[in-house]
Amino acid sequence: MSVAASAPASTSPVSAQEAYLDELFDKGILLDTGVDGLYGRSDVFEDVIQAFDRLITRYGAQDRATPIHFPPGISRPLFEKSGYMKSFPQLAGTVHSFMGGEADHCTLLAELEAGQDWTGQQTATDIVLTPAACYPLYPTVAKRGPLPVDGRLYDLQSYCFRHEPSKDPARMQMFRMREYVRIGSPEQVQAFRETWLERGQAMMGSLGVPLKVDLANDPFFGRAGRMLANNQRDTGLKFELLIPVTSEEKPTACLSFNYHQDHFGSLWNIPTSNGDVAHTACVGFGMERVALALFKHHGTDTAQWPQAVRQVLWPK
Amino acid sequence: MNDKIRDILDQTAKLPVKAATLSDDADLHEAGLTSFASVQLMLALEDAFDIEFPEQMLNRRTFASIKAIQSAIAELTQTAA
Ligand SMILES: [Zn+2]
- pLDDT tens readout for residues B50-79: 999 998 999 999 999 999 999 999 999 886
The residue segments making up the domain with residue A176 are 15-93+131-313
Domain ranges of chain B: 2-80
Task: Determine, yes or no, domain membership for A2.
Answer: no
Q: Name residues 260-299 of chain A within 8 A of B (Cβ).
A: 263
| Strand segments (E) across chain A | 30-35, 38-41, 66-68, 73-75, 94-98, 122-129, 152-161, 174-184, 212-215, 238-243, 252-261, 279-286
* Boundary residue ending a domain (A129, A147, A178): A129
Which residues sit opposite A243 in a β-bridge?
A252
How far does residue A284's CA lie from ligand 1's centre (Å)? 6
> Which residue in B35, B43, B55 is closest to A228 by CB distance?
B35
Residues A106 and A137 both lie in one domain:
no
Strands A152-161 and A66-68, sheet pairing: parallel
Residues A84 and A141 both lie in one domain:
yes
Spatial distance between the Cα atoms of A302 and A286, rounded to a whole number of angstroms: 19
CB count, 10 Å around CB of A307? 7
Residues A179 and A113 both lie in one domain:
no
Residues A103 and A225 both lie in one domain:
no
> Which residue in B36, B43, B59 is closest to A230 by CB distance?
B59
- A121 closest CA partner among A107, A140, A137, A136: A107
> Which residue in B34, B39, B60 is closest to A224 by CB distance?
B39
Spatial distance between the Cα atoms of A186 and A205, rounded to a whole number of angstroms: 29
Residues A109 and A180 both lie in one domain:
no
Task: Determine, yes or no, domain membership for A4.
Answer: no
Q: Residue A128 in contact with residue A97, Cβ under 8 Å? A: no
Residues A306 and A164 both lie in one domain:
yes
pLDDT digits (tens, 9 = 90+) for A111-140: 999 999 999 889 999 999 999 999 999 999
**Residue A275 in 3-state DSSP?**
coil
CATH assignment of the domain containing A190: 3.30.930.10
- A29 closest CA partner among A206, A314, A288: A288
Average pLDDT rounded to a whole number, residues B26-32: 92
Residues A124 and A246 both lie in one domain:
no
Query: Looking at the 3D structure of chain A, how many domains does it have?
Result: 2
pLDDT band for position B80 (50/70/90)? Answer: low
Q: Residue A145 in contact with residue A220, Cβ under 8 Å? A: no
Segments of chain A with pLDDT less than 50: 1-10
Residues A209 and A143 both lie in one domain:
yes
Residues A138 and A121 both lie in one domain:
no
Residues A112 and A183 both lie in one domain:
no
Residues A113 and A153 both lie in one domain:
no
Domain covering B2-80, topology: 1.10.1200
Contact B58 A234 (CB under 8 A): no
Length of chain A: 316
Torsion of CA B17, B21, B24, B26, to 10 degrees: -50
pLDDT of residue B78: 80
pTM above 0.80, yes or no: yes
pLDDT band for position B10 (50/70/90)? Answer: very high
**Residue A295 in 3-state DSSP?**
helix
Task: Determine, yes or no, domain membership for A8.
Answer: no
Q: Residues with Cβ < 8 Å from A211, sequence gap 6 or more?
A: A201, A204, A205, A241, A242, A243, A254
